[in-house]
Amino acid sequence: RKRVVAFISGGGSNMLALAKACATPDFPAQIVAVFSDKADAGGLAKAEALGIPTRFFLRKDFASKEAHEAAILAALDALAPDLLCLAGYMRLLSGTFINRYEGRILNIHPSLLPLFPGLNTHQRAIDAGMRIAGCTVHFVTEGMDEGPVVVQAAVPVVPGDTSDTLAARVLTVEHRSYPLALRLVAEGKVRMEGGKAVASGTLPQADGA
């Protein structure tokens, strides 16, 4: 089974969805550790409750972004992960970091990329008058929220939606999409080649259809 380190900054509901999928029979991946850039990320306690080892690396404990990432990379070396899953990790990785794990880092973003990258995604989707929203799991490249798409899923935007109600609806499909994307990548059914996501065979939709 592929060894995965999940990266979180917050509540960790996507990390939990991945961990639950990994606990099902025949899933091709396992979460070997959860890393955070916040000591109080809610997801850390959730991971510990499942017996998954956790580590946190606070940016302020290091003199530079390079030193912060070097410490994370050194800790990763010891774990020898096959894949890294960014799950609400609110920090941009440098090119140096990404090159070390080229084609092996996944991220989830709560919009239908390339629409609405970056922060405040849901409010911007509402302000733009979108009638659908959704999530994207993609390979991480140097541009923020720019890498090739592995899985997407859509939800409606409904009248009266606020950023919070839309975020909650998108989150429900995130929890299905990320395990599916991890499965596809871990099984080698989707890989990054020449900056594109390449699929072998017919891929399932996020809803399993």
Binding residues: 12-14, 65, 90-93, 107
Residue 11 in the binding site for ligand GAR (CB under 6 A)? yes
Region from 9-17, 60-68, 92-100, 126-134 binding ligand GAR, contact rule CB under 6 A: 9-17
Residue whose CB is less far from ligand GAR, 2 or 175 = 175
Nearer to ligand GAR, 71 or 171 (CB): 171
Q: Is 109 one of the catalytic residues?
A: yes
On whether the CB atoms of residues 25 and 106 are closer than 8 A, the answer is no
203 and 189 Cβ atoms separated by less than 8 Å: yes
Long-range contacts of 64-70 (CB under 8 A, 24+ apart): 65/94, 66/94, 66/96, 69/93, 69/94, 69/96, 69/97
Contact between 32 and ligand GAR by CB under 6 A: the answer reads: no
Q: How far is the CB of 73 from ligand GAR (least distance, A)?
A: 21
- Report d(CA 177, CA 93) in Å as an integer: 22
Tell me the backbone φ, ψ of residue 108, rounded to 5 degrees: -115, 135
Could you tell me the smallest distance in angstroms from the CB atom of residue 171 to ligand GAR? 5
Q: Which residues are catalytic?
A: 109
